[in-house]
Chain A
Amino acid sequence: MLDLNPGMILWTWITFFAVFIVLYLVALKPMLTAITNREQGIKNDLESAQKQREEAEAILEEHRRLMAKADEDGQKIIRENQLLAEKTKQDILESARNESDKMIHQAKEEIEREKQSALNSLRAEVADLAINAAEQIIMQNLDQEKQKKVVDEYLKSMPKSLNN
């Protein structure tokens, strides 16, 4: 049972190496290559996924920053425009008030002038009327002196009755 037999050892070697070579060529070489390729592929995929993730995160960060900046800019523009609008409103109000004041003033002046001219023309008219009336009275041969006095009195009383 324990006797050594070199022929048997030789046969073992021959068989083993034949199996080894055939198995290596037929199955183990393609199998190990496939395993290595798959491992490499998975490693590459993982690495590229990691890289893409990092890139995406950087882009997201950039976008967040841009959005924040845009928001800030918008706020600034709105604030500026509000100030501008407020100022414009004040200006318009101011100018309108000035304009209306001026117009009121003008109208008042106009009224005054018109009143004055009306008074003047009325006075002239009244004077004419009085002269005509006096002529009528003179025509009726009344005492000149007396008549004139009457007319003057009349005229003097006129402005009192038309007191503005």
Chain B
Amino acid sequence: MISEQHSAVSDTLSAGEENLGQWILHHSQNSDVWDPIPFPGWHIHLPVFEPFQLFGITIDLSITNHVVMLWIAGLFVIVLFMLTYNAKKKIPSGFGHILELLVLFVRDDIAIANMGEKEGKKFTPLLVTFFFFILMANLMGLIPAFSTATSNINVTAGLALITFGSTQVYGIARNGFIGYYKNLVPHGVPILLWPLMFVIELMGLLAKHVALTIRLFANMTAGHIVLFALLGLIIVFKTSLMSIVSVPFGIFVYFLEILVAFIQAYIFTILSALFIGMSVNPEH
């Protein structure tokens, strides 16, 4: 098994004439090929579209590896809910009960706790979708032949922009355009400091969502890099004895990754709830 991996990896290395760092990056980066079977030469080439210009931005709608992973994650979430939750049953049983427990947790302890009763119930579906979608995308990187879409900064940026959009749209809808941006500045600030404070708060608003993006992206990327680096030690030291250290550590990091996948999905959801709650109810 180890020698198989070894040969597979050295094949990849010799074929691509890459060094170890590039090899690790290759595995966590987006690409237009998907190799469901971890052998060299077994690739599925995904469709590549010609980038086009829109409002001066180059948009490349090629269906890449991570797009496929997102689709699979989304599909898996939908199928999971459809198969295990039966709305006709008054009290759910089995896995449907676990799902309901999680949905209830998101509703009561994330949405209502951070937004209040009325807004919390309104935003529960969005937050539940955030949680399960991100969780699935995170966990998929731990399954061979799949990769983590959330280790692509564009995906996490897209998700964080949904949160950002929600905060702006609902904050303005609730407090009015002027009222919302006026509430960005904390109460009790002297009038002379208002322009300065407004700029600082605006930057803080953006920084919060950039942090949301980077946090998920960095956590998901780091775990995979550590995992690959540990296994890469076998190549670096050019001896299979290294696997005595690398494989147990790799397994440990793998389980840590499962934990991190849950924690990051939870953190993303709770921070989204917090940000939306803060913009909708600025007094709190």
Contact = CB atoms under 8 A, between A and B. Distances in A.
Interface of A: 1-2, 4-13, 15-16, 18-20, 22-24, 26-32, 34-35, 38
Given A6-B59, A38-B90, A32 B125 contact: yes
Interface of B: 25, 28-30, 51, 57-64, 66-67, 70-71, 74, 77-78, 81-82, 85, 87, 90-91, 99-100, 103-104, 107, 121, 124-126, 128-129, 132-133, 152-155, 157-159, 161-162, 221
A152 B82 CA distance: 153
Given A27-B85, A30-B87, A35-B103, A16 B158 contact: yes
Contacts of B126: 20
B50 to A, nearest CB: 11
Chain B interface helix/strand/loop/mixed: helix
A21 to B, nearest CB: 9
A35 B162 CA distance: 26
Contacts of A23: 77-78, 81, 125, 128-129, 132
A62 to B, nearest CB: 38
B30 A8 contact: yes
B47 to A, nearest CB: 12
A9 B161 CA distance: 9
Given A15-B74, A27-B87, 13 more contacts: A6-B154, A7-B51, A8-B64, A8-B154, A9-B158, A9-B161, A11-B63, A15-B70, A16-B70, A19-B129, A28-B124, A32-B107, A38-B90
Interface-central residue, A7, A20, A26, A38, by most chain B CB under 10 Å: A7
B78 A15 contact: no
A86 B61 CA distance: 115
B81 A27 contact: yes
Contacts of B66: 8
A8 B121 CA distance: 31
Given A1-B25, A24-B125, A12 B155 contact: yes
B42 to A, nearest CB: 24
